[in-house]
Amino acid sequence: MMRSTRDHLGERGNGEFEMKRITILALFAGALILSACSASVLELDVGTCFDDPDTFEQVEDVPIVDCDEPHDNEVIANQDLTGSDYPGQDQIENRASQICYDQFSDYVGISYEESMYDIGWLYPTDETWAAGDREVICFGYDLTLAKITGSINGIGQ
């Protein structure tokens, strides 16, 4: 599952766009988590740009895009969680939210609250945790859902 931190933290934004994005991203995240063996998903390193998939049914690959080309998202941080027992979805989601929020300004070059970009994240489920997945993947996207051309690394917007 994935959420917009603006919703989680109660920040600004057009509710209609955010609700649409959250619905799309929740479906996208569920599909990505189920397809965690996909080579494209494993390539989501910091600085990787990617598009939302065309369909949310049995997604096996995330469309990786050169950051100089129009794209939907850019990975801004990755961090592994610790622990042997799955702490529960709420705790994982809260931790993912904090990780992405904390890393945002270092990557984008401006505070989250001042930025025109929003953040989303992927995180392990109970099933993927049992298989050894501990990684939170944070990504930025344009708050208006417009395509981004170029990297948002250090953009200061």
Digitized pLDDT (tens) for each residue of the chain, 157 residues in all: 344 444 444 443 444 434 334 434 443 444 444 333 233 455 689 999 988 866 443 334 678 999 999 999 999 999 999 999 999 999 999 999 999 999 999 999 999 999 999 998 878 888 889 988 898 989 999 999 999 999 999 999 9
How many whole angstroms from its chain centre is CA 120?
Answer: 3
Is-contact 2 29, C-beta < 8 A? yes
d(C-alpha 81, C-alpha 63), whole Å: 26
What's the Rg (C-alpha) of the chain? 14
- Return the biggest CA–CA distance within the chain: 41
Of the candidates 104, 100, 24, the residue with the CA atom closest to the CA atom of residue 92: 100
pLDDT for the residue numbered 117: 98
pLDDT reported for residue 152: 98
pTM over 0.85: no
Which pLDDT score is estimated for 113? 97
Q: What is the pLDDT of residue 101?
A: 98
Instruction: State phi, psi for 77 to the nearest 5 degrees.
Output: -165, 150
Please give the pLDDT value at position 133. Answer: 85
All residues at 6 or more sequence positions from 126 whose CB lies less than 8 Å from its CB, including other chains: 86, 89
